[in-house]
């Protein structure tokens, strides 16, 4: 975390070492201090001295506490074994800018929880009203949300003058920890993006802005469920912002780098965009330079989003538009609301990755062709009778006249495969695919584009086109053309089905357009995701 106000100029540093470090004051505020010098915390007024600080302990400042940024001189004593009311602290599992988190046993309900208490209250100094206010603000802000993708607050209390709150204990890890192994599969990125957006949308409806969206504040709760935590920087309609804004530089929206800007849903969207960029590509969209915080702030103000030169084959190219909109420099150029963002993300939600079996595909195709050929029959029968003079001669004279009158119905036969192709272009599922719960998707598991759907349908319905045009040829007296068309459908069917026997088991038309037939697992996936 970083605060936007440096130390007081009334008390200049007394040192020749011009390197700045971020010292975390007892009140939880980061203060810029020259090594070997001194400063004053602008929040609580406490003097800070680094005259005896060992230069060898200096680390590079990355603006993210999980990447080794900043210097924290004291984490406080380990409070494991102590009791806070009916909570018994078992072990410390983490620490943040203003507090430490312990694994604790709730002895009243006999369950394990996470207890957070103020860092400076850990037997170092008295607890100030500001510290109590900050901790209670986080607890109350988070407790306002009742959402499956937000960490649940169980209890807020005090032990004498020491405030603390208990929340659900999650197995973890955080998405920051997961990113150490590299970028996530795109399907997982979308899965988490939908959940985070759902949580932020719920918070926005209650007037709450999180203010610090980043991978380290997103905790896995098991079963591919992610939960948003750490509302210490959240703002509401009653939040006092006169003390300056805080956040994580690497994920902060550009408008917040100027003192006085107010966090909005659009600044949260920007932070979400940086987070999703990290999850997608395994790196941040820009790199900060500089050996101290002020240099990195200047670097951040001029940094521009840079996408990978070689686009990963596993990521749809359209995903770039979603990320670019989220990380637009101007808030007005981002998504107008979370509902629009949810719809954009939904367009890139993979249907599934389980290939359909030959059995289900074969039966689905048989059902579709049976229906379509049944629709063709009224147009084919007159043409068939006309093409067989011996059969027509045996008909009564009045029947022959009817057949002759309706022979040109065959000219309308091509409307059947044309209608089937139009339905595929429109994105409708065929009856066979609906009954067997099949979907046609691209290599990323996304819905095929209209052009590719149309090309696939034209190839898939070649036998229907051949039969209908053969009927047109017979009805028009071009028997030779009809005879030439007769073997085409058998040849096409054979060429189309032979590739199914090879690895991948995709028909020729699927190989040509880059499509796959998979089981539709969308409903199962949606059931595990909170609605936006």
Element spanning 516, H or E: strand 516-519
Which of 85-94, 295-304, 333-342 shows the lowest mean pLDDT across its residues?
A: 295-304
Which of 114-118, 206-210, 490-494 shows the lowest mean pLDDT across its residues?
A: 490-494
pLDDT classification of 44: cutoffs 50, 70, 90: low
**The pLDDT value given to residue 97:** 52
Domain boundaries in the chain?
2-58, 83-168, 175-346, 358-527
Angstrom CA distances, 412 to 155, 195, 363, 406, stand at 73, 50, 28, 11
**The pLDDT value given to residue 390:** 61
HEC letters along 339-360: HHHHHHHHCCCCCCCCECCHHH
- Rounded-to-integer distance, Cα 242 and Cα 223, Å: 41
pLDDT classification of 3: cutoffs 50, 70, 90: very low
**The pLDDT value given to residue 508:** 82
**The pLDDT value given to residue 263:** 83
pLDDT classification of 130: cutoffs 50, 70, 90: low
Tokens of 158: 């005090």
Render pLDDT for 53-66 as a digit per residue (tens, 0 to 9).
333 222 222 333 33
Q: What angle do helix axes 462-475 and 358-387 make, rounded to 10 degrees?
A: 0
Q: Which of 291, 191, 202, 258 is nearest to 524 (CA)?
A: 191
Which of 49-58, 200-209, 479-488 shows the lowest mean pLDDT across its residues?
A: 49-58
pLDDT classification of 85: cutoffs 50, 70, 90: confident
Average pLDDT (450-478) is 83
- Considering the chain, what percentage of its residues have pLDDT values greater than 90? 22
**The pLDDT value given to residue 58:** 25
Q: What is the largest CA-CA distance in the chain?
A: 118
Average pLDDT (207-230) is 87
Judge contact between 17 and 36, C-beta under 8 A: yes
Q: In this structure, what is the dihedral angle of CA atoms 126, 130, 135, 139, given to the nearest 10 degrees?
A: 140
Judge contact between 519 and 438, C-beta under 8 A: yes
Render pLDDT for 316-337 as a digit per residue (tens, 0 to 9).
989 999 999 999 999 999 999 9
Number of Cβ within a 10 Å radius of residue 351: 22
Average pLDDT (18-28) is 49
**The pLDDT value given to residue 120:** 46
Q: Residue 199 pLDDT > 70, yes or no?
A: yes
Q: Which residues of 10-30 are buried (b: 16+ CB within 10 A; e: fewer)?
A: eeebebeeeebbbbbbbbbbb
**The pLDDT value given to residue 502:** 65
Q: Which residues of 215-231 are buried (b: 16+ CB within 10 A; e: fewer)?
A: bbbbbbbeeebbbbbbb
> What's the full length of the chain, in residues?
532
Average pLDDT (451-470) is 87
Q: In this structure, what is the dihedral angle of CA atoms 481, 487, 493, 495, given to the nearest 10 degrees?
A: -100
Angstrom CA distances, 149 to 42, 168, 196, 292, 316, stand at 35, 12, 7, 36, 26
Judge contact between 226 and 220, C-beta under 8 A: yes
- Rounded-to-integer distance, Cα 504 and Cα 151, Å: 42
Q: Residue 15 pLDDT > 50, yes or no?
A: no
pLDDT classification of 82: cutoffs 50, 70, 90: confident
Q: Residue 192 pLDDT > 90, yes or no?
A: yes
Which of 46-50, 263-267, 270-274 shows the lowest mean pLDDT across its residues?
A: 46-50
Query: DSSP secondary-structure letter at 122?
Result: T
Higher pLDDT, 189 or 441: 189
**The pLDDT value given to residue 206:** 82
Render pLDDT for 93-110 as a digit per residue (tens, 0 to 9).
876 555 688 999 998 888
Q: Could you name the CATH architecture of 175-346?
A: Orthogonal Bundle (1.10)
- Rounded-to-integer distance, Cα 414 and Cα 403, Å: 19
**The pLDDT value given to residue 235:** 60
pLDDT classification of 74: cutoffs 50, 70, 90: very low
Question: Mean pLDDT of all residues in the chain?
Answer: 75
Render pLDDT for 400-423 as a digit per residue (tens, 0 to 9).
566 566 667 778 888 999 999 999
Number of Cβ within a 10 Å radius of residue 49: 13
Render pLDDT for 497-530 as a digit per residue (tens, 0 to 9).
776 666 667 788 888 888 888 887 664 443 344 3
Collapsed DSSP state (helix, strand, coil) of residue 379:
helix
Higher pLDDT, 31 or 227: 227
**The pLDDT value given to residue 532:** 36
The fold adopted by the segment(s) 83-168 is Phosphorylase Kinase; domain 1 (3.30.200)
Q: Residue 190 pLDDT > 70, yes or no?
A: yes
**The pLDDT value given to residue 460:** 87
Strands 218-220 and 153-159: unpaired
Query: DSSP secondary-structure letter at 430?
Result: P
Q: Residue 251 pLDDT > 50, yes or no?
A: yes
pTM: 0.66
């Amino acid at each position: 975390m970083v605060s936007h106000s440096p130390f007081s100029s009334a008390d200049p540093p007394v040192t020749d070492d011009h390197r700045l470090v971020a010292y975390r004051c007892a009140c939880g505020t980061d203060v810029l201090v020259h090594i070997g010098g001194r400063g004053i915390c602008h929040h609580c007024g406490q003097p800070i001295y680094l005259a005896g600080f060992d230069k060898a302990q200096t680390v590079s400042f990355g603006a993210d506490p999980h990447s080794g940024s900043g210097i924290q001189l004291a984490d406080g004593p380990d409070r494991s074994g102590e009791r806070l009311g009916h909570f018994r602290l078992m072990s410390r599992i983490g620490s943040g800018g203003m507090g430490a988190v312990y694994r604790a046993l709730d002895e009243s309900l006999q369950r394990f929880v996470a207890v957070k208490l103020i860092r400076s209250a850990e037997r170092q100094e008295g607890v100030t009203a500001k510290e109590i206010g900050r901790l209670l603000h986080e607890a109350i802000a988070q407790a306002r949300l009742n959402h499956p993708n937000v960490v649940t607050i169980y209890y807020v209390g005090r032990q004498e003058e020491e405030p603390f709150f208990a929340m659900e204990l999650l197995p973890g890890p955080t998405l920051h920890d997961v990113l150490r192994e590299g970028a996530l599969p795109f399907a997982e990125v979308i899965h988490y993006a939908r959940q985070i957006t759902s949580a932020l949308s719920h918070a926005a409806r209650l007037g709450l802005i999180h203010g610090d969206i980043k991978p380290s504040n997103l905790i896995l709760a098991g079963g591919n469920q992610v939960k948003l935590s750490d509302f210490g920087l959240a703002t509401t309609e009653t939040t006092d912002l006169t003390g300056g804004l805080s956040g994580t530089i690497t994920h902060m929206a550009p408008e917040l780098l100027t003192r006085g800007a107010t966090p909005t849903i659009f600044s949260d969207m920007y932070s979400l965009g940086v987070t999703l960029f990290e999850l997608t590509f395994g790196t941040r969209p820009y790199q900060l330079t500089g050996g101290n915080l002020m240099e990195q702030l200047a670097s951040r103000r001029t940094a521009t989003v840079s996408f990978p030169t070689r686009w990963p084959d596993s990521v749809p190219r359209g995903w770039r538009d979603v990320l670019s909109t989220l990380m637009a420099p101007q808030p007005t150029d981002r998504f107008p609301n979370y509902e629009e963002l949810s719809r954009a993300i939904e367009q890139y939600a993979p249907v599934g990755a389980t290939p359909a079996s030959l059995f289900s595909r074969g039966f689905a195709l048989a059902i579709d062709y049976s229906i379509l050929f049944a629709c063709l029959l009224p147009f084919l029968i007159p043409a068939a009778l006309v093409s067989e003079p011996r059969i027509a001669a045996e008909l009564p004279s009045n029947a022959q006249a009817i057949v002759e009158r309706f022979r040109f119905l065959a000219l309308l036969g091509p409307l059947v495969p044309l209608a089937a192709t139009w339905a595929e272009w429109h994105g409708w599922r065929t009856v066979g695919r609906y009954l067997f719960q099949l979907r046609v998707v691209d290599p990323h598991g996304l819905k095929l584009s209209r052009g590719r759907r149309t090309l696939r349908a034209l190839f898939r319905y070649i036998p229907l086109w051949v039969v209908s045009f053969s009927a047109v040829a017979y009805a028009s007296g071009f028997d030779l053309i009809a005879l030439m068309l007769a073997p085409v459908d058998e040849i096409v069917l054979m060429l189309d089905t032979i590739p199914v026997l090879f690895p991948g088991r995709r028909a020729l038309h699927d190989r040509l357009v880059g499509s796959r037939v998979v089981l539709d697992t969308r409903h199962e996936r949606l059931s595990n995701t909170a609605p936006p």
